[in-house]
Structure 1
Amino acid sequence: MHDITFDGRGELPEPGGEAEVLLDARARVAAWGPGAERLLGHPAREVLGRRADALLHDPADAADLARWWEEGLRRGTVALRRRDGQPLRAEVWARPLTSADGARQWLVQAVGTETFRIYEYGRALLKGLFTDTPFHIDLFDTRLRFIGQNLTERRAGVFRESEYSGHTMREMAPPGLLDFDALELRQRQVLESGEALIDTEVEGHPVPGSPREYVWSESILPLRDPSGAVIALGHVVSDVTQQVRARERLMLANEAGTRIGTSLDLWQTARELTEVAVDRFADVCQVDLLDSVFAEDEPAEDEQPRSPRLRRAASGGTPEEPGPDGGTGDGTVRVGDLDTAATAPGSPFLDALTKGTSVLLTDDDERLRTRPGVVCPPPSPDGGPEVHSWLLVPMLARGVALGTAVFMRSRSPRRFEPDDVLLAEQIVTRTAVCVDNASRYHRERTTARTLRRSLLPQRLPSPSAVRTASRYLPASEHTGLGGDWFDVIPVSGARVALVVGDVVGHGLQSAVTMGRLRGAVRTLADLDLSPVEVLTHLDDQLNRFLDERGDEVSLVTGATCLYAVYDPVSRRCQLARAGHPPPAVVSADGGVSFVDLPGGPPLGLGGVVFEEREITLGDGDLLVLYTDGLLESRSQDFETGLRRMREVLARTSASAAPQQVCDTLVRELLPPGHQDDVAVLVARMTGLAPDSHVTWEIEAQDMMVGRARELTARQMAAWGLAEESFTTELIVSELLTNALRYGGEPITLRLIRDQSLICEVSDASSTSPHVRRAQETDEGGRGLYLITRLTQNWGTRYGERGKTIWAEQPLPR
């Protein structure tokens, strides 16, 4: 029963927006609320005392309403009459009342149908929020005490059946649920500022001791009274653990894509995987690679080693201090060592490599609980947390096993989940591609270096006439191959040939052409040809190379070359060049000059006539040969490079070693980020001492052969080589006999004592003798054959007038 209080005008107090009317037992209006006036437009004075059926649009509905109320129906939909005569559909409630004097009354409440729908929606919303929603909703007063929770919060089992109202979160929530100090700080911030905090991510453990971490999205909303004052706080909390974990995995996968594979170094790539994984994905990460990955041969796709050898390539998350046995102090494998435990019988590593599938072990798995060394490192001596989740992912690329990656969690309470396994496989697959690229690059670079070693001299000869040093820098660090080359070739008569060349282009094709040209130069040098003749033959050779290539002719269109021959006896140097930069000469007194040598066109044009120059080099003079990559670049023309080179050589000490001169030129002249190959060859000239060689003019008389033998014997004794005199006399006798019989005057005999004993006989004839096997009936023809048996080398070289036949004998140690 309700007690109704009337004012003097018979109006009801403001009921919060609903239309309220009090009817007496005869259905006359006894009280008229302000809401009724707003709803129908009638003021109280017009309706007080009138029958209620006058307010109906159809008065006949009054009998039905009375019957419904008598039958206990308290709600219905009727059409009311507004003051302007228009009908108004409304929901009507009726409550029976008894007045103070015992008279029967009815409290009638009405709401417009549209307004009623809004009320219904609001009630449905409240019901959904507090009963059916998956969100956790809490209400707190201004003292941060609970004043309400929705059913979701209770069903979650966080607060059980305890009475939470009037208590703070700190008092009621399980320990470790979240950071209560941070929560109260956020609540006070909203109370003081009146501004909501939306979508704050909070981590915690809803169940104490649970290994699973949760992440909630928390929004704190200020609740206000009609005056606008904050009277309470509303908390809306939802579980966003999966979304956050998915976002973290996506960020980690993206970071792995940018941080792994920044170089083509195998060790660096493996280390980058551990750097990405440790702390954000795992507490420990170890990467083992098969030894075949480091090999120079390409692994076969269908070849799986029976006893694979895994080598530790990187390790993160554990200290690796060397132990007394060469391993690590805690028993783990050091980077660079073989991981023998990983390939022990029963190891999951072998199974993963064979099947290509990941292996996930948790602390309830026998293999992890027993902690064999094959799976986990032994516990740390300081009592650190043990590994409770272990993930092994095989590293595969192009169907070939490359190694394994192991991820372990110990400090983090979270175990690896299926989504973590997928993420690890994605990252390891990315790493496998990079490792495969690095391995192939390693093999290709090794092959390129082997090819370069075979094409370029790795150790220059050491003739007594010159001291040489060289530097070679390819334009491509990837292949290490280019078209520039240099060489030092000892030739007859203690002379030395110096050559520098440059094939147009870079890479394998240019390197192959360069190798063929270098081989041709060596062959031509052995024929004792002059520099001009060497370049002419090279020009023909390059044209043949280009014709053989056919469609590839555009890859290599020409080459340049500088060829010089230094004679330490006369101290003269003959030079010729084909489109190559001029050599520099640094005299013993520090003067610098460039040889005035006709440039000539590059090799490969055909039908070209080259020119030759002869210069005299004193003892200690430097001859500097180089390719244009040392001086010319996009930012510097060739003339500027020559001027800078002159300045650098002028500052270099005259007594500097050839290698020091090479290094200085490269360091000070090489443009940064050079785009061309560079070759530098520096030679310090030293003539033979006057007492190390002797020359005689021989008259064209047979009797002079005996005289020559006497002179030879006397000189051999002076050199302390009396024991070798007989052989030398025999060689002199045979060579002079040939010259006297088949040659022409003038005839000279020269003996040179250098690293070997050289005997030279020159005459004016260009007819070259040939070695043949004489028949038993032949009276002659055995001389040159005898010489080939007595000497280590012999040959013929031609000059402007005549020829020289020479023979070398090894000197005793």
Structure 2
Amino acid sequence: MPSGDVLVLIDEDGLIVEWRRQAEQLFGWSAEEAVGQAVTALVREFSAGGEGRREGFAATTPVLVKPVLRGTSLMWQVLTARDAVSGQDVAILEAMFAHSPARLHVLDHQLRVAHVPGATHGLSGTPVEDLAGKRFVQAYELEDPEKEAAVAQQVLDGGEPVVSRLVRAVVDAPDGLGRRIYSVSYVRLENADGDVLGLVASALDVTERENTHRRLALLEAVRAHVGQGLNVGAVCEELVEAVVPAFAGITVVEVIEDVVHGEEPPQVPVREDIVLRRAAFRGPVAAYPVGDVRPLPRGTPFARVLTDLRPRLLSIGQDTDWLTADPARADAIERSGAHSLIVAPLALRGQVLGVVSFYRHRQEDPFKEEDVAVASAVCAHTALCVETARAYMREWIIAATVQRRLLPQHAATPTTMEISRLFLPDPDGGGAWSDTIALPGARTALIVGDLAQQGIAAAVTVGILRTAVHTLAALDLEPDELLARLSDTAGRLSQACAALPPGDPMRGESLTAGCAVAIYDPIELTCTLARAGLPRPVAVLPDGTSTELPVPPGPLLADTSSAPFPATTVDLPEGSILAMGTVTAADTVLAPSGPLRPLLDSAGARPLAELCGDLAAALPDDRPTGDTLVLLARTRALPADRVLSFPLPAGAEAAPLARRAARRQLKTWGVDEEAAFTTELIVSELVGNAIRHGAPPLRLRLILDRALTCEVSDGATSAPHVKHARTVDETGRGLFIVASLADQWGARHHKHGKTVWAEQPLPSPGSP
């Protein structure tokens, strides 16, 4: 209601201290008559129709009574009211002042509480008389009074209201200092002439509402962010990140050790000596490091939770007997200032996964019973995520074990190559593999494969393919023929999956695999390569130049197009680096424009293991999904004095010539007499077989490396095979004798014929 001129000023005792001219005209008493009188006496006389009354005027003129502060005294002004107040307006005002959940505070120009209409106590329970005269920002112990005073002063100066501002305050609570949240609004008070009279500050306690919103927001954050990782440790880390500091100042997650390794979680109740791993921690002081493994002390709330799966709320200041059972944890609690604790289980379907401890410390409010339900909901979601990660880890562990145990388990370490491997597995699991296989004649086969599958099925398939590669390599096949037969094997695997009964998870499982094969010859200093779907290999030559090798692409393994796998033979000087990799490594390491290609090109004579470490450290985080695998090999030449190459005539004289040449060379190499005699027999039989069944030109080659290899080459393409001659037969025992004397033997075909070879293990030094 707009107000007019001031008529009367009354002190807090009800005595009139000012009586202005407008009051004389309105009521008929002079200032000398009115000042000092009790206002109640004048009102009674005025109402009774006293002689000083001016009839007809005062009775129809409404007035307004308003509290004001004069110094520290509360006084009352009586003003003329320019508009009458209706009954409805009065009812609205009464309801606003008496029944509104928000406390209204009338503030003066110094932001002091002048009046709290319709209330006997303030928001914090303070009597109204104790609030009067105090600055509003100090009356309720606001956390940042200076900031709040600046906001109120801005409204007082500028007139722009501030509505529903959330302000925090510290109040006395039965269990210590507590924090309250108020929704505060400021509106400037003005009269009809625009004069600023002060502020109205409304404050509503919204602590419970905001706490409810905060709890709901916490649960949403936990559901959104916990469970992204695929291992137990990652899930536990996601939990502590989500709840600290939003819900607790300190959080500890401890998981049963067997669960971390993918084993089945135990049923309730668990053994008292069961071992738990500290999987995640977030807070100022830790009792034990993350990764520490130990049983929970008996008699503690942590151990009790694992027996009944019932969450517990504890006040550390009131119940500390259990701390004596765990001195390290007690010391950490004391140093961190923790005062309130919720212990909740990680459990699912009656199986125990672990326990989570939530602490509040220092100035944080103690937990309430409502927080126990929140902690239980958080742990229930986390338990489901931990169980999912456990099942995945179990499958991953089984897959890794199967793949590791399937042949072969150890790669060859040839003397003519330096080998190193960069392997960064995909977090979701993959099927990349590599192998180094020693071949006869001091040669080495390098294999890189990549299977687009995951899990146990991928591990089994990779094991089968690797075993098939080793079996085919033992046949001394060229890379193109080896890939063709490996593709046939993969095709049969794919057909077997397609023929499985309905409902089998492997039914219809597509087998998409790539493979690259390189065979390095340290005598000829050449490398023969073929590839099925993988990127082109790269060669870094000793002079620092690098190039992608011109190896034509072949189809993926098990491709039904029956396309060939063309092979290419290139020269690789001693000291060259051959790099082969999976598709994910192509864009970063192998491609000419890849960001890590300069590291590969500038390798020089650095150890390849060191180069792999640099490549791994420099790989970008946003690399494509899948296993990143790069196999590096630096070539070395077999010394010339370790090779005898001797041409032979096509007649019967070839055998004795070959034996004499072998005898001289074996003596030069220092081979003992027994091994030399065996070698002469092998040479004699191989040369005799070539004379009878081969074609010129003939050549004998002896190679001394990790084994002693005898090779006889001829111009025929017929394949040799062992015959079991009868006692009456005069021939047919040659290769049978070779197979009996040699550790292994075989034949390989080339453009101009074939080579039959036999290997003998060299006796170790000091052996009898």
1:757 aligns with 708
2:753 aligns with 801
CA distance change for structure 1 residues 767 and 230 in 2, over 3 Å: closer, same or farther? closer
Query: Which whole-Å CA distance do the structure 2 matches of 1:657 and 1:700 have between them?
Result: 48
Please say if residues 313 and 369 of structure 2, whose CA atoms lie closer than 8 Å, have aligned partners that are also in contact.
no
Q: Can you list the C-alpha shifts for 1:616-651, whole angstroms capped at 9, x where unaligned?
A: 544344555455655569xx9x9xx56889996995
1:336 corresponds, among 285, 291, 304, to: 291
2:121 aligns with 153
1:568 corresponds, among 492, 509, 522, to: 522
Q: Following TM superposition, by how much is the alpha carbon of 1:316 offset from its aligned partner in structure 2, in angstroms? A: 3.4
Greater shift after overlay, 711-720 or 122-131?
122-131
Please say if residues 268 and 352 of structure 2, whose CA atoms lie closer than 8 Å, have aligned partners that are also in contact.
no
Q: Following TM superposition, by how much is the alpha carbon of 1:214 offset from its aligned partner in structure 2, in angstroms? A: 4.1
1:168 aligns with 133
CA distance change for structure 1 residues 517 and 13 in 2, over 3 Å: closer, same or farther? same
CA distance change for structure 1 residues 803 and 718 in 2, over 3 Å: closer, same or farther? closer
1:720 aligns with 670
Q: Following TM superposition, by how much is the alpha carbon of 1:416 offset from its aligned partner in structure 2, in angstroms? A: 1.9
Query: Which whole-Å CA distance do the structure 2 matches of 1:618 and 1:514 have between them?
Result: 33
1:291 aligns with 257
Q: Following TM superposition, by how much is the alpha carbon of 1:523 offset from its aligned partner in structure 2, in angstroms? A: 1.8
Q: Following TM superposition, by how much is the alpha carbon of 1:358 offset from its aligned partner in structure 2, in angstroms? A: 0.7
SS at match of 1:547: helix
TM-score normalized with structure 2 length? 0.71
CA distance change for structure 1 residues 194 and 467 in 2, over 3 Å: closer, same or farther? closer
1:360 aligns with 313
1:351 corresponds, among 286, 290, 304, to: 304
Please say if residues 747 and 754 of structure 2, whose CA atoms lie closer than 8 Å, have aligned partners that are also in contact.
no
SS at match of 2:293: coil
Q: Following TM superposition, by how much is the alpha carbon of 1:176 offset from its aligned partner in structure 2, in angstroms? A: 6.7
Give the residue type in structure 2 aligned to 1:307: D
Query: Which whole-Å CA distance do the structure 2 matches of 1:434 and 1:646 have between them?
Result: 37
Please say if residues 103 and 116 of structure 2, whose CA atoms lie closer than 8 Å, have aligned partners that are also in contact.
no
Query: Which whole-Å CA distance do the structure 2 matches of 1:319 and 1:567 have between them?
Result: 61
CA distance change for structure 1 residues 150 and 177 in 2, over 3 Å: closer, same or farther? farther
CA distance change for structure 1 residues 449 and 210 in 2, over 3 Å: closer, same or farther? same
2:438 aligns with 490
Q: Following TM superposition, by how much is the alpha carbon of 1:688 offset from its aligned partner in structure 2, in angstroms? A: 2.9
CA distance change for structure 1 residues 526 and 198 in 2, over 3 Å: closer, same or farther? closer
Q: Can you list the C-alpha shifts for 1:203-260, whole angstroms capped at 9, x where unaligned?
A: 2425687455444455566666676656676665544332232233334444545565
Query: Which whole-Å CA distance do the structure 2 matches of 1:625 and 1:479 have between them?
Result: 23
Alignment of 1:661-700 (within 5 A): 673-674=623-624, 679-697=629-647
Cα-Cα RMSD: 5.4
Query: Which whole-Å CA distance do the structure 2 matches of 1:180 and 1:677 have between them?
Result: 58
Give the residue type in structure 2 aligned to 1:285: T
1:528 aligns with 476
1:282 aligns with 248
Please say if residues 403 and 462 of structure 2, whose CA atoms lie closer than 8 Å, have aligned partners that are also in contact.
no
1:51 aligns with none
Q: Following TM superposition, by how much is the alpha carbon of 1:481 offset from its aligned partner in structure 2, in angstroms? A: 1.3
Give the residue type in structure 1 aligned to 2:418: R
2:383 corresponds, among 424, 432, 438, to: 432
CA distance change for structure 1 residues 193 and 346 in 2, over 3 Å: closer, same or farther? same
Q: Following TM superposition, by how much is the alpha carbon of 1:392 offset from its aligned partner in structure 2, in angstroms? A: 0.7
Give the residue type in structure 1 aligned to 2:301: P
Give the residue type in structure 2 aligned to 1:481: G
Please say if residues 376 and 387 of structure 1, whose CA atoms lie closer than 8 Å, have aligned partners that are also in contact.
no
Matched, 1:422 2:390: no
Percent identical:
30
Matched, 1:792 2:743: yes
SS at match of 1:565: strand
Please say if residues 266 and 352 of structure 2, whose CA atoms lie closer than 8 Å, have aligned partners that are also in contact.
no
Query: Which whole-Å CA distance do the structure 2 matches of 1:716 and 1:425 have between them?
Result: 80
Q: Following TM superposition, by how much is the alpha carbon of 1:502 offset from its aligned partner in structure 2, in angstroms? A: 5.7
Query: Which whole-Å CA distance do the structure 2 matches of 1:385 and 1:665 have between them?
Result: 42
SS at match of 1:248: helix
Q: Following TM superposition, by how much is the alpha carbon of 1:541 offset from its aligned partner in structure 2, in angstroms? A: 3.2
SS at match of 2:412: coil
Q: Which has the larger radius of gyration?
A: 1
Matched, 1:465 2:416: yes
Matched, 1:768 2:720: yes
2:7 aligns with none
Structure 1's unaligned 5+ residue stretches are 1-10, 15-20, 25-29, 40-114, 321-331
TM-score normalized with structure 1 length? 0.67
Give the residue type in structure 1 aligned to 2:378: I
Query: Which whole-Å CA distance do the structure 1 matches of 2:98 and 2:594 have between them?
Result: 87
Q: Can you list the C-alpha shifts for 1:269-288, whole angstroms capped at 9, x where unaligned?
A: 43454455445533433222
SS at match of 1:281: coil
Give the residue type in structure 1 aligned to 2:315: T
Please say if residues 745 and 756 of structure 2, whose CA atoms lie closer than 8 Å, have aligned partners that are also in contact.
no
Query: Which whole-Å CA distance do the structure 2 matches of 1:466 and 1:281 have between them?
Result: 58
Please say if residues 148 and 165 of structure 1, whose CA atoms lie closer than 8 Å, have aligned partners that are also in contact.
no
Alignment of 1:138-287 (within 5 A): 144=112, 150=118, 152-153=120-121, 158-159=126-127, 164=129, 168-169=133-134, 199=164, 201=167, 203-205=169-171, 210-217=176-183, 229=195, 237-257=203-223, 260=226, 263-264=229-230, 266-267=232-233, 269-287=235-253
Please say if residues 385 and 410 of structure 1, whose CA atoms lie closer than 8 Å, have aligned partners that are also in contact.
yes
SS at match of 1:378: helix
SS at match of 1:153: coil
SS at match of 1:529: coil
Aligned residues: 689
Query: Which whole-Å CA distance do the structure 2 matches of 1:686 and 1:662 have between them?
Result: 19
Q: Following TM superposition, by how much is the alpha carbon of 1:695 offset from its aligned partner in structure 2, in angstroms? A: 3.9
1:75 aligns with none
Query: Which whole-Å CA distance do the structure 1 matches of 2:104 and 2:222 have between them?
Result: 39
